Amino acid sequence: MKRGPVTLGRLVLAGVALGNAPLALYALAAAFFAILHIAAGTMSQHLMPLSSLLAGALRAVLLGSAMGAASAAVFCSSAFAAPTPERYSVRSASTGLIAPARSAGTSAPAAAAATTTPAASAQVPPS
C-alpha cells in the first residue's frame, strides 16, 4: 500500500470489498460447519439444489457490492465537499496555534466591538 491521493475509483473498490466482507465471514462459518457435519456423517439429505444456492450467493454478492460502492461514493462526495482547515482557520506565526480566520472586510477593532455585549458597551447617563 502506498500513500497518495484517494480517488473515487479506489474508494469504490474498497467499498465493494468491505460490502462483501460480511458475506465472506458468513460463507467461511457455513463452510466450517458443513465440513464438521460431513466429517461426523450427520449431513442432511434435504439441502437446497445447487442452482438455488448459487443464485442466493450471487444475489448477496451483488447486493454487498452495490451497497459498498454506494457508501463509498457518498463518503467520497462528503469528504471532497468538506472545507479544508486553510479555508476557515489561520495559523499564528508567533504561537503556531490555529485560530478562526476573520472575514476580509473586518478589522481588528471592528471585530472586537462586534464581540462585546450590549451591556458592556452601554453608557450610563449622567445623573
When mean pLDDT is compared across 10-14, 62-66, 78-82, 98-102, the lowest value belongs to 98-102
Q: What is the DSSP string of 4-47?
A: -PPPHHHHHHHHHHHHTHHHHHHHHHHHHHHHHHHHHT---S-P
Q: By the 8 A CB rule, do 12 and 73 touch? A: yes
Residue 7 is predicted with a pLDDT of 82
Residue 77 is predicted with a pLDDT of 82
Residue 20 is predicted with a pLDDT of 92
Query: 80: part of which helix (H) or strand (E)?
Result: helix 50-81
CA distances (Å), origin 99, targets 1, 25, 86, 93, 105: 35, 47, 11, 11, 17
Query: Residue length, the chain?
Result: 127
Q: Could you identify the residue written with the cell 465472506?
A: 24
Retrieve residue 15's grid coordinates: 467499498
pTM for the structure as a whole:
0.53
Residue 40 has pLDDT above 90, yes or no: no
Residue 45 is predicted with a pLDDT of 74
Q: What is the pLDDT of residues 49-92, one digit of tens each?
A: 778 888 888 999 999 999 999 999 888 887 776 565 555 555 55
Between residues 74 and 45, the one the model is more confident about:
74
Residue 37 is predicted with a pLDDT of 83
Residue 19 is predicted with a pLDDT of 92
Residue 53 is predicted with a pLDDT of 81
What does the mean pLDDT of the chain come to?
74
